[in-house]
Amino acid sequence: MSITYTIISFIIALGTLITFHEFGHYLVARWNRVKVLRFCIGFGQPIFRRRWGKDQTEWVIAAIPLGGYVKMLDENEGKVASEDLPRAFNRQPVARRFAIVAAGPIANFLLAIVLYWLIFILGVTGMKPVLGPIEPATPAAQAEFTMGETIVSIENEPVASWQDARWALLRYAVNQSANVKVQTINSNGEINLRKLDLSQIDPDKLNENFPGIIGFSGYQPIVKPVIGQVISDGVGYHAGILVGDEIIAINDTEIHTWMDFVQEIRTNPGNSVELDILRNDQLIMLKVTPEITLENGKQVGKIGVAPIVDQAKFEELLVTVSYSPGKALQKAAEKTWETTILTLQMLSKMITGDVSWKNVSGPISIADYAGQSAQMGLTSYLAFLALISVSIGVLNLLPIPILDGGHLMYYLIEMVKGSPLSDKAIIMGQKIGLVMLFTLMTFAIYNDISRLITG
């Protein structure tokens, strides 16, 4: 994936999310007859600037697409003509000011609902939740799940794909639930109700392959160790491996499936291995040295070959889930709510120290996710946008001075005490807010750099 593709995907994502957020502020301000002086997307040097409308609002697109703002007429920011005083933001009743500030995060939640609605109408293609081998000494093994079973529901919530199963399990894993009811059906049509104990799952590992930590893996049809493709100029090509070769053994270890073959190659990076190969009914031996490749900071071996795959068997495991417009809207609202709650739970666990701050992502990681999701297709990109939109909505509602949530906190205090906070208190709050925001961004960027270095 090219850097250019990643950057474009990132800019489109941030531009869309920030525009909707700021448009929420703008729209409610206009509904309340507050004069808007500037609507700006981005920071730094303007690359586009125009004035439109009765109020000659300045519309600006700036060079750095990492934020935006709506500047309203306000006596705290400069002189206001006497005829415009009724339209100044600071002259509005506290309820109106509250509504204008809250409109930004609310716009992000509404955007997430629209995006999820589109996803549920278009349909999501995924793998059926059929269980592969169960890892020993895991919660799944203790609950006596068996390979070949299909997950039907989790806590009475229907599950149609592995995406559904992963999302449902994540919600219960965050809370370290002790008895999660999972209903399965096997190939004989027998229905089983099993209880998963997730109380010992480390919340700090939830962004890894946590279904694997539970003991689950997706079922994969057995693929024979027969070569279907050899990458030209690769290690396998130079060793003399040909399409149609069947791998019988590696270093005298019998090979029965393609996964057996992959496992042996991966565990021998840089080490010469002997392959026993069946070619045209004749047994031959080749030596190959797997190329050293780094994956997640670990060295693994690869030789540049792929198997013959029976595509029909894999297509049998695919399922496309879609809904009618009405049902899709209901599901979209539920998904947005669940994502919001999950985000708040993760934040609270970071504050209490139950989850590491290493889970905080900065602009580099978000850009990478944007590029990856865009490459995977429209529905994946829309899902990414919806998730980030919810995150922006939640972040802006946190009671941190200088964020929307901080202003809302000020207005709530004003409603209770009957008068605004003093300028001294607001200035002190802004200083505290800047320190908190700077600390958060420092963590995020540090994590980004760490991920780049460690893979």
Distance CA 248, CA 387 (A): 46
Distance CA 152, CA 184 (A): 5
CB within 8 A of 243, min separation 6: which ones?
227, 228, 229, 230
What residue type is assigned to position 410 of the chain? Y
Write out the H or E segment, with its range, that includes residue 425. Answer: helix 423-454
Within 32-124, residue ranges assigned H as helices are 94-122
* 8 A C-beta contact, residue 34 and residue 97: no
Helix (H, G, I), strand (E, B) or coil at 37: strand
Q: Which of 22, 135, 155, 254 is catalytic?
A: 22
Query: Could you say which DSSP state residue 201 is in?
Result: -
* 8 A C-beta contact, residue 405 and residue 399: yes
Query: Could you say which DSSP state residue 418 is in?
Result: S
**Burial group, residue 339, by CB count within 10 angstroms (0-12, 13-18, 19+):** buried
Helix (H, G, I), strand (E, B) or coil at 325: helix
Distance CA 246, CA 281 (A): 10
Q: What's the half-sphere exposure (Cβ side, CA atoms, 13 Å) at 256?
A: 1
Distances (CA, A) of 109 to 73, 80, 237, 336, 371: 27, 34, 52, 7, 23
C-alpha torsion sign, points 42, 44, 46, 50? positive
What residue type is assigned to position 187 of the chain? S
Distance CA 408, CA 401 (A): 9
Distances (CA, A) of 220 to 190, 213, 269, 316, 317: 21, 18, 25, 11, 9
Distance CA 245, CA 328 (A): 49
Decide if 75 is catalytic.
no
Strand order in the sheet with 180-185: 157-158, 150-154, 180-185, 191-196
Positions marked active-site: 22
